[in-house]
Structure 1
Amino acid sequence: MDKKTNHSFAYALVKGLRFILEQIQVLKQNISAARIRSLEPLVQGSAGLKYLQEAFTTLYGHHSEATRKLPQTVQWLTSVHQTVEQQRSDFMATLAAFINSQPSTHTLGLPSVTSLRTGGRLGLAKELPTTSDGLALPGRTGETTHVIQWNSIETLVRLGLLQLASKPDAVNEETTPETLKLNIGRLQKVQNDFQQIIVIATSLLLVRQTLTAKGVRATELDSVLCDANKQLNEILSNPTVTVHHIGHLLSQLCMLSGEKDESNQELMTRILIRSLSAGDVVFVKVSTALLSGFRAILLSGKGFEGRSLADLALKRIGASALIDQLLAATDALDVMAVVTCQVHGPWYSCIASEM
């Protein structure tokens, strides 16, 4: 009986001590969280910016030595600088295509045809906003057009971040510019998002082409593609998913009622693998359209202009349903661009002056 009593007492004592230790850990976490919250105004303000600049200076030296102390950053910005004119040309081509696709009455600042038919009042046409290249943009009333300074450091950095995010190989310590090493994890996340969007867009394109060839009507096709987008997002959320799993899903989506072709799965898998191979016509078409969409949002913002240009790019591959995913993936790059330009602006300016 004494042994049982001693055992019960020891058990209760251990349980009590465990509870006390757990509460101490919770208290420590609360204290740490409170300290972090108290430092938040400083970190987010000018003091945080100054701290990051001083820390970077300690690691890599004064910004006047940027070209010598930051070889990876120099190489990165130089490679981006060499593509700026081509990027500008592609962007302006997309912008011109968007403007040409708008109704002429809207472009001229006139009310819509519906308004005229219903007796709407005809006011004076307002002057339309223009881009930095002089193209009139049919934006919404009262909305300011984002003017892109193609020679600015910010534009160069944004294009550079897009270049890194679209690389098929994961960024690492050896390949990442010194100014972005703290963002390696974030860049890898955007890379994953970009690759996932490519897979989804390519898969939707294959489903569209297959069902169209089978004579599926447009109304039914839209419903299938909407469902396909949801299922693809679900299956790709599993880190162990393989291309064969995706091929199986595509074969099911493309199988009409009464079809029992077992070889369809292998066929769709082979087509998908080929379409996701670098250099393939489908891959080039999809990746080019997605890059155009990313660039539009990164440079023009998430307002009417950026969203419209991105949507136009996605329509080329029948992937307008992915606009929200594109916007979400671009958010991280936008934040990185703003922060690194504020923190490392002097170093970037020094490097740019030598190019």
Structure 2
Amino acid sequence: MQGREVDVLVRLGLLKLVSGVSGLTPDALPESFSLNFSRLRSVQAEIQKIIVISTSILIFRQILSSEQPCRRDAGIEGIVETIIDISRDNDKVTDDNILQTRKAMMARMLAKSLQAGDAVFERVSRAVYLAFRGIVLGGSGRQLAEMALRRVGASSASLTKRVVKEAEVLVVAATVSLRVHGPWYATLIGNM
């Protein structure tokens, strides 16, 4: 097996480990990565935050578009403009019932959408995974990350920057591990 193939498999394997819904534990981690447990757990926590942020943006966009015309493919800037427009409308802002209804609806939708098996959760999780995968595999990764996040309406410079930063942690961990355990990985993969 060629070195590049092993490198790609190790990177993708790490990404699979940290993109799991359940928390990463030392027992679930191959011994060759045990020294990187805290870094990998931190990346997993960041992936989960990005999923929550992306899901929140998607839900907020749906609520805003139901209340006021808002382009369906609006990005964060479009959502902010719509929020400002709604804020300027004093009748909507001062009506406590409307605010409470909106708040309750968003809380219900977000809670439902952050459960494994939910269609929104699966779609957002997949997009975030693909964004990370674009960076982990290199090449035009940043563009791939932006495209993946855009598919669920969560494309923003700040989210893409977070994805890039965390994915680079995985790349470094994979690279170092490959330097130390490369022959072992090649033998293991070759025997599969």
TM-score norm. by structure 2 comes to 0.84
> Sequence identity of aligned pairs in percent?
39
Would you say 1:290 and 2:144 are equivalent positions?
A: no
Q: Offset of 1:347 from its aligned partner?
A: 1.3
The one-letter code sitting in structure 1 at the alignment partner of 2:115 is: S
The one-letter code sitting in structure 2 at the alignment partner of 1:336 is: A
Would you say 1:324 and 2:178 are equivalent positions?
A: no
Q: CA–CA distance in 1 between the matches of 2:125 and 2:115?
A: 11
Would you say 1:315 and 2:168 are equivalent positions?
A: no
Would you say 1:182 and 2:35 are equivalent positions?
A: yes
Greater RCO between the two (CA within 8 Å, min separation 6)?
Answer: 2
SS in structure 1 at match of 2:166: helix
Q: CA–CA distance in 2 between the matches of 1:174 and 1:288?
A: 25
Show CA shifts across 1:194-214 (max 9, x none).
Answer: 000000000001111111222
Would you say 1:351 and 2:188 are equivalent positions?
A: yes
The one-letter code sitting in structure 1 at the alignment partner of 2:13 is: G
Runs of 4+ with deviation above 3 angstroms: 220-227, 252-257
Q: Contact (CA 8 Å) 2:57, 2:76: kept in 1 or not?
A: no
Q: CA–CA distance in 1 between the matches of 2:8 and 2:125?
A: 21
Q: CA–CA distance in 2 between the matches of 1:319 and 1:283?
A: 13
Aligned equivalent of 1:112: none
SS in structure 2 at match of 1:317: coil
What stretches of structure 1 of length at least 5 have no aligned partner? 1-148, 228-251
SS in structure 2 at match of 1:291: helix
State the aligned residue count.
179
Structure 1 residues 51-130: aligned runs within 5 Å? none
1:206–1:342 CA distance, 2 compared to 1 (3 A): same
Q: CA–CA distance in 2 between the matches of 1:221 and 1:298?
A: 25
Show CA shifts across 1:166-211 (max 9, x none).
Answer: 0122222211101100011001100110000000000001111111
1:272–1:320 CA distance, 2 compared to 1 (3 A): same
TM-score norm. by structure 1 comes to 0.47
Would you say 1:223 and 2:77 are equivalent positions?
A: yes
The one-letter code sitting in structure 1 at the alignment partner of 2:111 is: I
SS in structure 1 at match of 2:27: coil
Would you say 1:339 and 2:176 are equivalent positions?
A: yes
Aligned equivalent of 1:170: 23
Q: CA–CA distance in 2 between the matches of 1:290 and 1:198?
A: 7
Q: Offset of 1:150 from its aligned partner?
A: 10
Aligned equivalent of 1:157: 10
Q: Offset of 1:151 from its aligned partner?
A: 7.5
Aligned equivalent of 1:279: 117
Flag the structure with larger Rg: 1
Q: Contact (CA 8 Å) 1:290, 1:313: kept in 2 or not?
A: yes
Aligned equivalent of 1:206: 59
Q: Offset of 1:266 from its aligned partner?
A: 2.0
What stretches of structure 2 of length at least 5 have no aligned partner? none
